[in-house]
Amino acid sequence: MQTITLPADNPESISSALSLFRDGEIVAFPTDTVYGLGADPFQASGIIKLFEAKGRDSNKAIAILVGSVEQAQLVTDHMTEMAMRLCEAFWPGGLTVIVPRKNTLPELISNTDRIGIRMPNHPVALEMLRTFGPLATTSANLSGKPDAVSARDVFDQLCNRVPLILDGGKCPGGVPSTVIDCSGSEPIVLRTGPVTSEQIFKVLEIQKA
């Protein structure tokens, strides 16, 4: 496979990416945290390619990016009240919420009944999401290797593993999103990132007061 890099701010580049998604292919693109590797979440073939390109353990779930809170309803049957409060406070941004997943998603996207969802704060990612719909997305790097914060980083690791890289310059955040499990009665922080535990619990305490 030959890897092509195109400027992310070109409408034709976005069209090329969306066409690849529709064909069950994968594309690397910039987000507000790190570069992501995306696929149509409803096509098993695309999900398989995400795992293969990264060399990722198939037991690890793939998160989903959305372009709006409303889009989340396409991949979950229940955005919990806790998740909604946090999304209102931190979306778009560096927070992934774990909620029950819709059973229409391919089983291999998650080996549990839950799914991680995030709305990124990046114009290129948001344009694709709002045009195409939700995207199954994982970080655009080889498993166990450093996160990619530039198109060059992606190319160095995934050359000939991904057909298209959208070059949007360096990611402003550079750190993967905070992940919080909102599927139970109490919030559980699974990964720390741009949104701190203190910020999360402050929002929840304010809402409960």
At 170-184, the pLDDT tens digits run 999 999 999 999 999
The pLDDT confidence band at residue 18, using thresholds 50, 70 and 90, is very high
Model pLDDT, residue 149: 97
Percent of the chain beyond pLDDT 70? 98
Q: Tens digits of per-residue pLDDT, 117-155?
A: 999 999 999 999 999 999 999 999 999 999 999 999 999
Q: Write the secondary structure of the chain as one string of H (helix), E (strand) and C (coil).
A: CCCEEEECCCHHHHHHHHHHHHCCCCEEECCCCCCEEEECCCCHHHHHHHHHHHCCCCCCCCEEECCCCHHHHHCCCCCCHHHHHHHHHHCCCCEEEEEECCCCCCHHHCCCCEEEEECCCCHHHHHHHHHHCCEEEEECCCCCCCCCCCHHHHHHHHCCCCCEEEECCCCCCCCCCEEEECCCCCCEEEECCCCCHHHHHHHHHHHHC
- The CATH number assigned to the domain with range 4-208 reads 3.90.870.10
**100 backbone dihedrals φ, ψ, rounded to 5°:** -60, 140
**Can you give the pTM of this predicted structure?**
0.95
Q: What is the mean pLDDT of residues 185-196?
A: 94
Q: Tens digits of per-residue pLDDT, 48-106?
A: 999 999 999 988 999 999 999 999 999 999 999 999 999 999 999 999 999 999 999 99
Q: What angle do CA 181, 182, 184 make, to 5 degrees?
A: 100
Buried b (16+ CB within 10 A) or exposed e, 166-204: bbbeebebeebbbbbbbbeeebeeeeebbbeeeebeebb
Mean pLDDT estimate for the chain: 95
Amino acid code (one letter) for 13: S
Tokens 């080889």 belong to residue: 142
Model pLDDT, residue 207: 52
